Structure 1
Amino acid sequence: MSSANGLVFNARKHISRVFVYAVLGLFAAYFLLPLFVMLVNSFKDLSEIRGGNLLMPPKSPTAEPWIKAWGEACTGLNCDGVKGYFINSMVITLPAVFLASAIGAINGYILSKWQFKGSEAFFALMLLGCFIPFQAILLPMAQTLGFLGLANSVPGLILVHTVYGIPFTTLFYRNYYVGIPTELISAAKLDGASFFQTFFKIILPLSTPIIIVTVIWEFTNIWNDFLFGVIYSGPTSQPITVALNNLVNTSTGVKEYNVDMAAAMIAGLPTILVYIISGKYFLRGLVAGAVKG
């Protein structure tokens, strides 16, 4: 009797597992469908897109839409493709990610292990920066960039993204560092280690999971940003998100949907690659930071 009950229980467990995976698979397919549509149609010629099913793979795959999107497509009056804007996004994103992550790490270290009078209030005010809408700072930031002589420039966009990213990176690092034993810091102080010696030789080597989380978070947010890019950039400093918007809204006679989709794929490739390469480390670091503090 117990053996029969065990078989029934295992069968139900197996059915439940199959059902759960089937539902998850359907949701994943639904979520990935737009990406699939863009990918397959970016390798079709325009006549095939107009005369066929968007969900069907290309009959005669061609890389011409990608070539045109990269170096020939018109974004407004400029017909040099998206390559220059892609480079702009890289030049903006990489320094901003580094600066925001580095400053956030120092802030988190101070607020968790070198607390001072009023540090909790300071941390609360900094967290407020995470919830301030972008629109609330547009005018003050524009005035600041104008005062510094950084308006409509790549360095100006780097500054904007760095400043706006610091509250988030500080939150991530502070919550992670709270879980590191304070005895390590005390022992380092007894050995005569300075503030930065303790940070670089003890804290930083233990920070790999949260560094990965922070870098992925910042890279994705900065690379995908449109609002700051369209407001604070000039004709030569626009990021690829602005160029993509201009490309889609530029009409030169025939609407080339395959080129638009190829450009969208080019714009999305860096973030896709970051998640493919570092996705599992992102989840590990996110969980590690979430259960500390």
Structure 2
Amino acid sequence: MTTVSTPVPAPDVAGRPVDLRPDRRREKFTVKRTLRYAALLLGVLLVLIPVYVLFVTSFKGAGDASPTRAWNLPTAWTTQNWSDAWTALSPALWRTFEMVIPASIIAAFLGSLNGFVLSRWSFRGANLVFTLILFGMFIPYQAVMIPLLQIFLDAGIPSGVPSLILLHVIYGIPITTLIFRNYYQTIPHELIEAARVDGAGMLRTYWSIILPISIPSFVVVLIWQFTSAWNDFLFAVFFSSSQNGPVTLALNNLANGAMLQNYGVSMAGALFASLPTLIVYIILGKYFVGGLMSGSVKG
């Protein structure tokens, strides 16, 4: 009579037997992970399809760039489109940097001050003031464009970069105030009380204690403001011209002038115009998510 012996699992380092049976939970987890990565890959492909069309078309010549050949690779690769797009857009690109950098910094700093006062220094009507500030987030630009233009003309504010800086600061204060207020409410109240005991006033507390620990929220606000101001087109149409406007207005003029002759120049210009915001998100993207999460839960 032949007996079949059951294999005895070899002991591990600690002397315990090792279970050689397949781990069903691990297999299930692997399937879920595979499906998750497949869905993420599909999403990446959907996002990159327009980028592919932009990229390959930007290297096509005038006769090769057409809607019927949008998916095809260039028959002859050329960089002339990039040279023409840079020549047309470079002045507007520098004007846009001159506009978005101060607009983002000023709006972030004012929002930080507002958020600190509204979250830590109670006064009569503080909630009403905060509500009124938030109303600015829900006012459509189109509804106030004509009155705003008339106010700027009556005040003698120069069109172009100065007007756009002021507009983006004003319209950026509500969202920056909201982000900073939520973040400052997570700061322990004992930290503020300790500063008061040491004789620090409101400004001293803000400058010496609150501002140094506000970097995560500043990253979020600066990225948000930079992107919003850079991609704006409506304000640019009303408050600037092709001679003093940002890159979005120059790109629109370039597309209207070059679209019938060469799609490649328009595509190269679109890549030039989107490159700064893309670089900002690549460099600071993880800090953006971390900053949003740091103010998402109140302490």
Structure-1-length-normalised TM-score: 0.90
Quote the residue 1:16 is aligned against: 32
- More deviation, 188-197/240-249: 188-197
Corresponding residue for residue 239 of structure 1: 246
Name the SS for the 2:199 alignment partner: coil
Contact 2:95 2:245 in 1 (8 A): yes
Choose the corresponding residue for 1:130, options 137, 140, 158.
137
**Which residue does 1:284 correspond to in 2?**
290
Is 1:28 the counterpart of 2:44? The answer is: yes
Q: 1:134 to 1:51 in 2, by over 3 A?
A: closer
Matches within 5 A, 1:138-217: 138-217=145-224
Task: Kindly report the root-mean-square deviation, in angstroms, between the aligned alpha carbons of the 2 structures.
Answer: 2.1
CA distance in 2, matches of 1:220, 1:123: 24
Question: 3-state SS of the aligned residue for 1:250?
Answer: helix
- Counterparts of 1:189 and 1:62, CA distance in 2: 66
2:65 alignment partner, SS class: helix
The runs of at least 4 aligned residues of structure 1 exceeding 6 Å deviation read none
5+ residue gaps, structure 2, are: 1-18
1:109 corresponds to 2:116? yes
- Cα displacement (A) at 1:85: 1.1
CA contact (8 A) 1:151 1:233 kept: no
Q: Deviations over 1:178-232 (max 9, x none)?
A: 0001211111111111222211110011111111000000000000000001111
Moved more, 215-224 or 147-156: 147-156
Query: Which amino acid counterpart does residue 225 of structure 2 have in structure 1?
Result: E
In structure 1, give the amino acid aligned to 2:251.
L
Aligned to 1:38: 54
Change (3 A) 1:59 1:260: same
> Which one has a bigger Cα radius of gyration?
2
TM-score (norm 2): 0.88
Contiguous gaps of at least 5 residues in structure 1: 72-80
The offset of 1:269, in angstroms, is 0.5
Deviation of 1:62 after TM superposition, in Å, equals: 2.9
Corresponding residue SS for 1:131: coil
Rounded Cα–Cα distance in structure 2 between residues aligned with 1:16 and 1:251: 48
Asked if the contact 2:92–2:244 (Cα under 8 Å) also holds between the matched residues in 1, the reply is yes
Kept after mapping to 2: 8 A contact 1:37/1:54: yes
Encode CA deviations 1:59-91: one digit per residue, 9 max, x unaligned.
6543221111111xxxxxxxxx11111111111
Residues paired across the two proteins, number: 282
Write the distance in 1 (CA, Å) between the matches of 2:187 and 2:54.
Answer: 45
The equivalent position to 1:55 in structure 2, one of 63, 67, 71, is: 71
Residues 215-268 of structure 1, C-alpha deviations (whole Å, 9 max, x = no match):
00000000000000111113422111111111111259x521111000000100
Query: Is the deviation greater in 198-207 or in 54-63?
Result: 54-63
For residues 81-111 of structure 1, what are the alpha-carbon distances to aligned partners after superposition, in whole Å with 9 as ceiling and x for unaligned? Answer: 1111111111111111011001000000100
Describe the shift of the 1:139–1:49 C-alpha distance in structure 2 as closer, same or farther (beyond 3 A).
closer
Q: What residue in structure 1 maps to residue 280 of structure 2? A: 274
Single out whichever of 240-249 and 103-112 deviates more from structure 2: 240-249
- Equivalent in the alignment of 2:8: none
Shift of 1:40: 2.4
Identity of aligned residues (%): 42
